[in-house]
Amino acid sequence: MKRIHLRTQQFNSVQLAWLLLILAVIVYVIVMSYQSVLRYDTFKATAFDLGNMDQAIWNTLHGRFFVWTNQGDNYFGPPTRLAQHVEPILIPLSLLYIFHADPRILLIFQTLVLASGALPVFLLTRKHLPEWPLLAAVMTFAYLILPALLGVNIFDFHPIALATPLLLYAILAITYKRYFWFVIACVLAAATKEELPTVVALLGFLVIWKYKTPRLGTILFIGGVLWSLIAVAFIVPHFYHGTQHNSFWYRYQALGSSPSAAIVNILFHPWILITTFVSFDRIYYLLNIFRGTGFLALLAPEWLLPTLPNFAINLLGDDKLLYTGIYHYNAPIIPFVMMASIIGLQRVVKLWARWRGEAVVLPSDSFSPAKVQAGERRPGYTSFPDRVVLTYQSIFQALSTRPVVTRSLALAQPHFSGVTYEGRAQWKRFGERMEPLVKAVPLKTFQWIACAWIIAMALLNYAYMAPTLTNLMATNTPGTHEARIGQLLAQIPPDAPVSAGTSLNPHLTERQYITIFPNVTISSIPGSDQTVKYIIVDLSTVFPEDKIATVKALNQLSQGRFCTLKMADDVILLGRRDVVNCP
């Protein structure tokens, strides 16, 4: 009877965990879809990057792959996304517009995809902590309330946002040895931006190390490095005509005038990384990233290895948006912070059980390769993993017998031995001090403590970052002001070249030619006259320091080739005199 009761209790816990997962995902999708669309409807979405992405996807659907014109003077080179980023995933994303083109489709799709990442977080937690299903629901809650995730979701649309769930599904697939789906997820993730293949390459290293699958991991590592190298060293420089061969290098000028100069400076002056980039803002950024899951990720640092490329991009730049902790720059970091947190929590549970002297059956955080029957091996055949191991062994033996190596080890051994001994002694004393607490808290109680800790830290992290997130969200619902803007936008023909203010731009980008005011020419327009036909600007959204210059520019234009067609609530619509009937 007792056994039946325990099974029923376990079954109910699993059911409750799944119910909490479903409810959390539904609430997330409803709230974040509403907020994303509301932000667009109240003209708080921006040209960079919702307008950029909307036009590039719309043009791609119409056969003009990756074309966008928001920088009308082609500051970035040819009017193509390839001059800034390599995002081949835009091609399949363009199918979202096959029946109807609307940026809100992108916003809702992004929300659904990010919310779907809760499922692999839940399943991975269940895999590594199968006896505690409620912890899976709690970890899912921590994922969905991460300010980094919410910021990725709310701030316009970016293809790199899709990397968050794709990498989580990749980890889930390799954990369950679904190699085909693992490769598909990795390829799609790598297609979201040019640095993502390096993330996939480092994930391949973990596949070799943790999952004992060297052939797949090696292919992934080499393929990822080559993909990023081709994108960064050949594709982007080919389309971007600047001397630095990268339109975003201005963020890294402190390292050097160009990427090659930066590499030389780091190699010969490595202290520049500490003297220039160690700051309180960057430390707070790291705290914000790891605090959302109670710093458990720090207990599995090997799972943070794939985050190094993006941490380097964010921490070494001088643009503060990179390390605020809420923008799309963190999308590839989130999956590995979640996985590291799951493994870190598993290690805490194992340690607690060992201190208590209890036996706890948990899966290993490394996975053994499938056993190969002896009959399947050919005589004299050596598998690829065995060849890798034998190669490493032969290299190690060759190096370890050299006099310079043996003498260096002999000199260093006393120091290493002393440090190791002292570390073990300190750890032993720490365990002895923890013994009274450990004895008083059984594993069942520890589960609730872990749940409370994760929830408390997730809420604290959200509360700390809430003011920054609020700045990105809509502050009102559509009213008369938005209706009047809509009337002005409706007067612009759908195929006319336009110059629009940054807040109005995403509402007009489903056309071949559009730029951001104060640009009024688009160099890719065929013919000798490359001036736009309409200009529309919302003066209420212009920065105070730019308002005088903006008004002056509009007055000059209205006295020249343009005339004022209509004004409403600080929104002014100009038309070119040879195109419109001026009042």
Percent of the chain with pLDDT over 90: 66
Collapsing DSSP to helix, strand or coil, 528 comes out as coil
Q: Exposed/middle/buried for 78, CB within 10 Å: 0-12, 13-18, 19+?
A: middle
**Cis amide bond preceding 259, omega within 30:** no
Half-sphere exposure of 575 (CA within 13 A, CB side): 16
Structure token pair of residue 158: 């970016």
Cα(494)–Cα(347) distance, rounded to whole angstroms?
Answer: 59
503 vs 436, higher pLDDT: 503
The secondary structure of residue 378, as a DSSP letter, is P
| Cα dihedral 231→169→180→220 (10° resolution) | 40
Q: Hey, what amino acid is at 481?
A: H
Cα(558)–Cα(578) distance, rounded to whole angstroms?
Answer: 13
**Of the candidates 148, 159, 145, 61, which has an alpha carbon nearest to the alpha carbon of residue 101?**
61
Give pLDDT tens digits for 83-130.
889 999 999 999 999 999 999 999 999 999 999 999 999 999 999 999
Which residue bears the tokens 């390390």?
323
Which residue bears the tokens 């700045």?
471
pLDDT band at 374 (very low <50, low <70, confident <90, very high): very low
Give pLDDT tens digits for 522-567.
988 888 888 999 999 999 999 888 899 999 999 999 999 999 999 9
Q: What pLDDT shows up at residue 575? A: 96
Cα(155)–Cα(325) distance, rounded to whole angstroms?
Answer: 12
Collapsing DSSP to helix, strand or coil, 558 comes out as helix
Which residue bears the tokens 């607690």?
352
Cα(143)–Cα(433) distance, rounded to whole angstroms?
Answer: 33
C-alpha 450: how far from chain center: 27
Q: What pLDDT shows up at residue 79? A: 86
Is the dihedral angle over the CA atoms 304, 307, 312, 317 positive or is it negative? negative
Q: Can you give the length of the chain in residues? A: 583
Burial of 522-548, coded b for 16+ CB within 10 Å and e otherwise, reads: bebbeeeebbbbbbbbbeebbeeeeee
Q: What pLDDT shows up at residue 375? A: 40
Give pLDDT tens digits for 565-578.
999 989 999 999 99
Structure token pair of residue 379: 């005589």
Cα(198)–Cα(217) distance, rounded to whole angstroms?
Answer: 13
pLDDT higher than threshold 70 for residue 193:
yes
Cα(321)–Cα(152) distance, rounded to whole angstroms?
Answer: 12
- How confident is the prediction for the chain on average, in pLDDT? 87
Q: What pLDDT shows up at residue 377? A: 47
- Picking from 21-30, 63-72, 382-391, which range would have the lowest pLDDT averaged per residue? 382-391
Structure token pair of residue 466: 């809430």
Q: What pLDDT shows up at residue 389? A: 45
Give pLDDT tens digits for 404-420.
555 554 555 555 455 55
- Picking from 73-82, 325-334, 495-504, which range would have the lowest pLDDT averaged per residue? 73-82
Cβ-proximal residues to 493 (8 Å cutoff; 6+ apart), any chain: none
pLDDT band at 385 (very low <50, low <70, confident <90, very high): very low
